[in-house]
Amino acid sequence: MAATGFGNYRNGTQSSRTSLGSSNKVDKPLSVYSNPKNPSLKSKSLNSSGLRKSAPGSLGAATGAAKDDAGVPGRVRVAVRLRPRNAEEMVADADFADCVELQPELKRLKLRKNNWDSDTYEFDEVLTEFASQKRVYEVVAKPVVESVLGGYNGTVMAYGQTGTGKTYTLGRLGEEDTAARGIMVRAMEDIFAGVSQGTDSVSVSYLQLYMETIQDLFDPTNDNISIVEDPKTGDVSLPGASLVDIRDQQSFVELLRLGEAHRFAANTKLNTESSRSHAILMVYVKRSVNGIDSALSTDNGDSSQVVKSLKPPVVRKGKLVVVDLAGSERIDKSVHYLAGSEGHMLEEAKSINLSLSALGKCINALAENSPHVPVRDSKLTRLLRDSFGGTARTSLVITIGPSPRHRGETASTIMFGQRAMKVENMLKLKEEFDYKSLARRLDIQLDKVIAEHERQQKSFEKEIERITREAQNQISEVERKYADALEKERVKYHEECMESIKKLEEKWMKNQQKHAIDGNKVGLKGDGSDVTSKGEVAAVKEVAELKKLLQKEALLMKAAQEEVDNLKSQLAQSKKLEATANSEILKLRKMLEDEACQKQKLEGEIAMLQSRLLQISFDTDETRKRLDKGGSEKILSGLDSQMSQLRQPQLNAAGNGEKASIAKLFEQVGLHKILSLLEAEDADVRIHAVKVVANLAAEETNQEKIVEAGGLTSLLTLLKSSGDETIHRVAAGAIANLAMNEKNQELIMAQGGIRFLSMTAANAEDPQTLRMVAGAIANLCGNDKLQTKLRGEGGIKALLGMVKSRHPDVLAQVARGIANFAKCESRASTQGSKNGRSLLIEDGALPWIVQNANNETSQIRRHIELALCHLAQHELNARDMISGGALWELVRISRDCSREDIRTLANRTLASSSIFQAELRRLRIEH
Ligand SMILES: Nc1ncnc2c1ncn2[C@@H]1O[C@H](COP(=O)(O)OP(=O)(O)OP(=O)(O)O)[C@@H](O)[C@H]1O
């Protein structure tokens, strides 16, 4: 159990701390300014966050190891405050001096014994009747508040006789006069100044403890609040009390006023002005001290950075408890006052005194370093268990009045304070990794990345579309232009050709006609040569003209060709553009793929964290259930008892709530993701994931889903491929759970499960691994259909091989497997579907069975007794059983077994076997 306040922490040895009666009187020098063990522990040695940097054994508070259990020692600090004389005392005590004389500069108080003699006491602070509320806060409470902000528990308590100013010191709201504000209000002001609104939280409960009943001052109808103590950490909590989140000072003051009104109403009902109850204000401060904020807030799009710097934020939890105790009158005086009054009032006085005297006793015990601190004697001390003299920084202000008439009370208050000064504290930093908030933040971050990714993808797609469209437009434009130009050229060329041909034809016609006329003329003149030469000249001219025309045509053709070339180069240019656009598209696609990859990584991280959360929830669930069962470790006859506990249906309401949250988480993470983590590269993640799967497999409702999602195959693969024994142990446990179901048993066999389980058993060193493997095989042994296959694949041999371990847990599972197998065999032989002797006997199980038939562990013994009875039911086994010594065991069982049903079964079996009967007769054994 962890060191806690009244409950556990013991002072170190200190010579001056010898007797209860010893005090810090100046004639017994004892330094009250520093801790003799650690002189650095004056309140001044705290830095601004209330953390010590180099105290021996300190936690290294600035970096804060979440699991470190070491503590920082420190003493309960005690201040004494004197109330000024009130009007009545001014008159009644006018002729008398005050019963105390204060020497604040020496931090001393003198308590008058008589006119000439007084006792002197030292305190950490001596506050005169003139001390301002501000000063009182600063010396009494401020260091505690700073400590709370630094992640420690802190307590401020006021103790004193009725009417001496406890409520004045702690609870004044100071609404009309701010200088009058008490410790509660000022403490909250400092707390608000020390927290950041975005990441931190402050919540309060306000209670009163009256006649051993705790009432909620925010909701007085809630008046039976119980105290819950965490057995591990010793932390005290009040789950039934209202816990109100507060965001600003104003709402706190309003709440306090409401609480005060309820307290006042309760006191009025009791017809008294003084508070007869103890009022307790609890302030819970949660501060985030580092984390992934910086990494997450850099929205530079580089999500891999986020993954690399993944570190859960550290949350420091501090609890400030401010206790305004009821008046500390001595019981004899109260009884005297109350003599003749109603019995209730006497009871009440006793009850107040009971809790105060219990507090006193605890303080005495702590101051004396006594081995027993009677913390359980009252609700007050139970409530303050983690807040006083334990892991908390504690400050006590004792209030006294000046009147010599109350010298007795004042003396007893002073002695109380003196003893409290000797109580040592062991401060413990309350830090934990806030996986939930990390997962939440990562979720938000992932959402952002996904949204950004989707946005980018959309704009990339749009861009791609635009570029493609533009390129296509350009191409079709160029193509269109090219086609138009070609067509134009073709038409033009055609027209020109036609024109030229027409012209030539016309000319040719003209020439023909001319020739015909000239021919006629020649014929008439008879001078042909002259005429011919004229015709030739015309023909030459004609040819020259035609040549010109042809040259012109050639030029036109050339121009058209150039135009075509030009268009072709334009087309090539467009194609180039298209290629560039394509490579751009490819680049964009690659970026998209990278993004998707990052997203997947982040999802993996989240799944891993959520699976851790799931595991933590399971652990909590399991612990809660164990606690619910009163911590008794019931040995369950089935499988792994821890896993079996998870199947217990009788969960209480809280358990159901927890289960619901597990189911929700399970839903959120998704089985596939959890299963995929079984193959993670990081061994820790694999171990973690297999634990989660094992826990899930413990729930019958999850088993089918796990098998369907391929979980069984993954678990068997882990047995085959992993070299880690923890993984083997947990995976075998999960397989054992899945093997509770007949369908799964067949699947396990079909996937070579026996081989992997046998292999695991052969390599196992930890008996718990063997227990899980044996448990899994034992379950398979109970399936009638699998008998031959199981034996054929070495299942029985594997079971028998595990007895080497000698560990009773392993032997119990082996025995259970053998009993299951024997039962199936005897059923099969009764039904006539089995011939021949038992496969168990064939595989050599009988000697071990006989050897352990009277094993001292009842669980093993019972299984074996049953196995023997089952084996004996088949006549074909009788000879082997006789020669192996099993008959003797059967006889013993039939006579001595403490379970009647087994005794009867053994008797019936012996009676029905003629071979056994003959042997018994031969040996002259009566049966
Ligand atoms: N330091 C002080 N200066 C001025 N007045 C004071 C001082 N301390 C107490 N008083 C006055 O004395 C009276 C009693 O104080 P208070 O109610 O705080 O006492 P108490 O110890 O809380 O009593 P009870 O145990 O009955 O609740 C009140 O009227 C309060 O204003």
Look at 68-72, 148-152, 330-334, 628-632 and tell me which has the smallest mean pLDDT. Answer: 68-72
- Atom of ligand 1 at shortest range from CA of 273: 26
What pLDDT digit, counting tens, does each position of 40-72 carry? 333 322 233 332 222 222 212 222 333 333 344
> Separation of 205 CA from ligand 1 center, angstroms?
24
Binned at pLDDT 50, 70 and 90, residue 656 comes out as very low
> Separation of 172 CA from ligand 1 center, angstroms?
10
Per-residue pLDDT, 91 = 83
> Separation of 165 CA from ligand 1 center, angstroms?
3
- Atom of ligand 1 at shortest range from CA of 131: 1
Q: Determine the residue of 82, 168, 181, 278 to mutate for testing ligand 1's pocket, defined as the one with the most ligand atoms within 8 A of the Cβ atom.
A: 168
Please report, to the nearest 10 degrees, the dihedral formed by the alpha carbons of residues 112, 114, 118, 123 taken in order: -20
> Separation of 20 CA from ligand 1 center, angstroms?
30
Look at 60-69, 264-273, 643-652 and tell me which has the smallest mean pLDDT. Answer: 60-69
Q: Ligand 1 atom 1: the closest Cα is on which residue?
A: 83
Tell me the ipTM for this assembly: 0.98
> Separation of 328 CA from ligand 1 center, angstroms?
14
- Looking at every residue in the chain, the average pLDDT score rounds to 78
- The set of protein residues with a Cβ atom below 6 angstroms from ligand 1 is 83-84, 86, 160, 162-168, 274-275, 326-327, 399
3-state DSSP assignment of residue 237: strand
Distance between CA atoms of 263 and 324, rounded to whole angstroms? Answer: 12
Look at 411-415, 471-475, 747-751 and tell me which has the smallest mean pLDDT. Answer: 471-475
3-state DSSP assignment of residue 273: coil
pLDDT for 684 beyond 50: yes
Counting every residue written for the chain, the total comes to 927
Dihedral (CA of 836, 838, 844, 846) sign = negative
Q: In this structure, are residues 872 and 914 in contact, taking their beta carbons and an 8 Å threshold?
A: no
Q: Ligand 1 atom 31: the closest Cα is on which residue?
A: 168
- What are the CB-based long-range contacts (under 8 Å, 24+) for 454-459? 456/591, 456/592, 456/595, 457/592, 457/595
The whole-number average pLDDT for the span 628-632 is: 44
pTM of the model: 0.47
> Separation of 167 CA from ligand 1 center, angstroms?
6
Strands 108-112 and 118-122: antiparallel
What pLDDT digit, counting tens, does each position of 445-461 carry? 778 888 888 888 888 88
User: In this prediction, what percent of the chain has a pLDDT beyond 70?
Assistant: 74
Q: Ligand 1 atom 15: the closest Cα is on which residue?
A: 165
3-state DSSP assignment of residue 892: helix
Highest mean pLDDT: which range of 433-447, 534-548, 833-847: 833-847
Q: What single-letter DSSP state applies at residue 547?
A: H
Helix (H) or strand (E) holding 157: strand 153-160
Q: In this structure, are residues 234 and 8 in contact, taking their beta carbons and an 8 Å threshold?
A: yes
**Closest by CA position to 671, among listed 661, 663, 683:** 663
Binned at pLDDT 50, 70 and 90, residue 377 comes out as confident
> Separation of 81 CA from ligand 1 center, angstroms?
11
pLDDT for 137 beyond 50: yes
Distance between CA atoms of 638 and 267, rounded to whole angstroms? Answer: 58
Distance between CA atoms of 419 and 364, rounded to whole angstroms? Answer: 6
Q: Which two tokens stand for residue 52?
A: 């010590």
- State the amino acid at position 382 in one-letter form: R
Strands 278-290 and 228-229: unpaired
Look at 94-103, 299-308, 414-423, 851-860 and tell me which has the smallest mean pLDDT. Answer: 299-308
Helix pair angle (435-525, 528-628), 10° resolution: 170
Per-residue pLDDT, 55 = 28
pLDDT for 37 beyond 50: no
Binned at pLDDT 50, 70 and 90, residue 193 comes out as very high
3-state DSSP assignment of residue 23: coil
The whole-number average pLDDT for the span 213-221 is: 93
Q: In this structure, are residues 250 and 257 in contact, taking their beta carbons and an 8 Å threshold?
A: no
> Separation of 320 CA from ligand 1 center, angstroms?
23
Look at 175-179, 365-369, 526-530, 824-828 and tell me which has the smallest mean pLDDT. Answer: 526-530
What's the angle, vertex CA 303, arms to CA 298 and CA 305, rounded to 5?
Answer: 75
3-state DSSP assignment of residue 629: coil
The whole-number average pLDDT for the span 470-496 is: 86
Query: What burial class does residue 397 get, using C-beta atoms within 10 Å of its C-beta: 0-12 exposed, 13-18 middle, 19+ buried?
Result: buried
The residues, ordered by sequence, that sit 6+ positions from 469 with a Cβ below 8 Å of its Cβ are none
CA dist 784 → 66, 263, 762, 779, 831 (Å): 52, 71, 26, 11, 12
Look at 482-496, 772-786, 865-879 and tell me which has the smallest mean pLDDT. Answer: 482-496
Highest mean pLDDT: which range of 331-335, 482-486, 624-628: 482-486
- Atom of ligand 1 at shortest range from CA of 86: 12
Backbone angles phi, psi at 709, to 5 degrees: -80, 5
Q: Ligand 1 atom 2: the closest Cα is on which residue?
A: 83
> Separation of 407 CA from ligand 1 center, angstroms?
17
> Separation of 218 CA from ligand 1 center, angstroms?
23
DSSP per-residue string spanning 293-362: HHHHH--SS-HHHHHHT--PPEEEEEEEEEEEPPP---HHHHHHHHTTS-HHHHHHHHHHHHHHHHHHHH
The whole-number average pLDDT for the span 485-513 is: 84
The whole-number average pLDDT for the span 746-771 is: 93
- Atom of ligand 1 at shortest range from CA of 162: 25
Q: What single-letter DSSP state applies at residue 43?
A: G
Q: Which residue would you say has higher pLDDT here, 626 or 371?
A: 371
Binned at pLDDT 50, 70 and 90, residue 238 comes out as very high
Binned at pLDDT 50, 70 and 90, residue 336 comes out as very low
Per-residue pLDDT, 781 = 95
What's the angle, vertex CA 553, arms to CA 549 and CA 559, rounded to 5?
Answer: 145
Q: In this structure, are residues 862 and 823 in contact, taking their beta carbons and an 8 Å threshold?
A: no
pLDDT for 443 beyond 80: no
pLDDT for 9 beyond 60: no
> Separation of 84 CA from ligand 1 center, angstroms?
9
The whole-number average pLDDT for the span 561-570 is: 82
Q: Determine the residue of 81, 83, 348 to mutate for testing ligand 1's pocket, defined as the one with the most ligand atoms within 8 A of the Cβ atom.
A: 83
CA 363 to chain centre: 37
Look at 321-335, 753-767, 890-904 and tell me which has the smallest mean pLDDT. Answer: 321-335
Query: What burial class does residue 29 get, using C-beta atoms within 10 Å of its C-beta: 0-12 exposed, 13-18 middle, 19+ buried?
Result: exposed
What pLDDT digit, counting tens, does each position of 830-842 carry? 888 878 899 999 9
**Closest by CA position to 799, among listed 860, 842, 744, 840:** 840
Per-residue pLDDT, 513 = 83
pLDDT for 619 beyond 70: no
Per-residue pLDDT, 259 = 92
Look at 104-108, 266-270, 916-920 and tell me which has the smallest mean pLDDT. Answer: 266-270
- Atom of ligand 1 at shortest range from CA of 275: 27
The residues, ordered by sequence, that sit 6+ positions from 364 with a Cβ below 8 Å of its Cβ are 20, 370, 419
Helix (H) or strand (E) holding 879: helix 878-883
Q: Ligand 1 atom 11: the closest Cα is on which residue?
A: 165
Q: Determine the residue of 88, 133, 167 to mutate for testing ligand 1's pocket, defined as the one with the most ligand atoms within 8 A of the Cβ atom.
A: 167
Helix (H) or strand (E) holding 80: strand 77-82
Dihedral (CA of 267, 349, 366, 1) sign = negative
Q: Ligand 1 atom 23: the closest Cα is on which residue?
A: 163
